[in-house]
Amino acid sequence: MDIKDAHQAREHPTYHQALVRWITQLADDELTLGHRDSEWLGLCPDIEGDVAFSSIAQDEVGHAAFYFELLHELGEPDPDRLAFARKTHERRNAKLVEQENGDWAYSILRHTLYDIFDGIRLEAMRQSSYLPLRHGVAKIQREEAYHLLHMKTWVVRMGKAGGEARQYLEEAAVRLWPQLDDLFSFGDADEETLLRFGIIAFGSAECQKRWEEQVKVIFGQAGLLWPGEIPLSGRDGRLGQHDPALAQLLETMTEVYRLDPVARW
């Protein structure tokens, strides 16, 4: 059964709750990574990278704004409050996107790993029963395809260069692997409910399977060693269990908002 708008979604409390919790994860992932991307402006190794990161950062924050607007229509606070007023423990992004940028190899490999995941997640929503989400996903998919193309091109280029460049990537993979486990978590968004109501087409296990298949192809092209199984960290960002890096990020990101939360800028 397709749900045409927020009013109809609110008539089904179980559907509504699962949808709100799911979209919150989408929004928080995109906003957090978008902010990290913006920190690269003026620091990328070449002008092409600088232009690309600025464009990608804008896209990610734009995607977050779309998701926050959906949440507002569903009865949640206005998008600015959702983006800037919530505490660290109220955020539902994966730990991967909140980590400090580190070096270039770490940032482009992290982005590649996330973009592959996000592309698969978007595919799961392509025929979502919630029509406002389905319609937005079509546009976001096109933009995310560009993000992935840019990032994986860098990964393959650095990997094929060998030597120090490949070493930096392999060191980045070692650092990234323990930060990946909650990427595939549904946190407090009930996976069974999302599947049963057709909000998504497939769940966590299938998402991780597809992700590993696609990442292994890129690692092979770049000549990178496969790090093995993703270790369990015992902390789930989808449940609000975050690393100190997120608190530091929010301190900066919300600085202007906190000057006067009710102001209209």
Residues 80-137: tens digit of each pLDDT: 999 999 999 999 999 999 999 999 999 999 999 999 999 999 999 999 999 999 999 9
The residue segments making up the domain with residue 134 are 6-259
Residue 125 forms part of a structural domain: yes
Helix (H/G/I), strand (E/B), else coil: 77: coil
Tokens 């089904």 identify what position?
Answer: 12
Domain-embedded: residue 29: yes
116 in a domain, yes or no? yes
From first to last of its 265 residues, the chain has per-residue pLDDT tens of 899 999 999 999 999 999 999 999 999 999 999 999 999 888 777 777 778 889 999 999 999 999 999 999 999 999 999 999 999 999 999 999 999 999 999 999 999 999 999 999 999 999 999 999 999 999 999 999 999 999 999 999 999 999 999 999 999 999 999 999 999 999 999 999 999 999 999 999 999 999 999 999 999 999 999 999 999 988 999 999 999 999 999 999 998 888 878 776 5
Q: What is the pLDDT of residue 27?
A: 99
Cβ burial 28-52 (10 Å sphere, 16+ → b, else e):
bbbbbbbbbbbebeeebeeeebeeb
Residue 217: partners with Cβ closer than 8 Å, 6 or more residues away? none
Counting other chains too, the contacts that 46-52 makes at CB distance below 8 Å and 24 or more residues apart are 49/154, 52/150
Give the CATH number, domain containing residue 186.
Answer: 1.20.1260.10
Residues shown for the chain: 265
Q: Is residue 43 part of a domain?
A: yes
pLDDT reported for residue 265? 58
Q: Tell me if 265 is assigned to some domain.
A: no
Domain assignment of residue 46, yes or no = yes
- As a whole number of angstroms, the distance between CA 119 and CA 110 comes to 14
Q: Determine, yes or no, domain membership for 81.
A: yes
- The answer to whether residues 4 and 131 touch, using CB atoms and an 8 Å cutoff, is yes
First-to-final CA distance of the chain: 41
Q: Is the residue at 264 inside a domain?
A: no
The pTM for the full model equals: 0.96
Domain count, the chain: 1
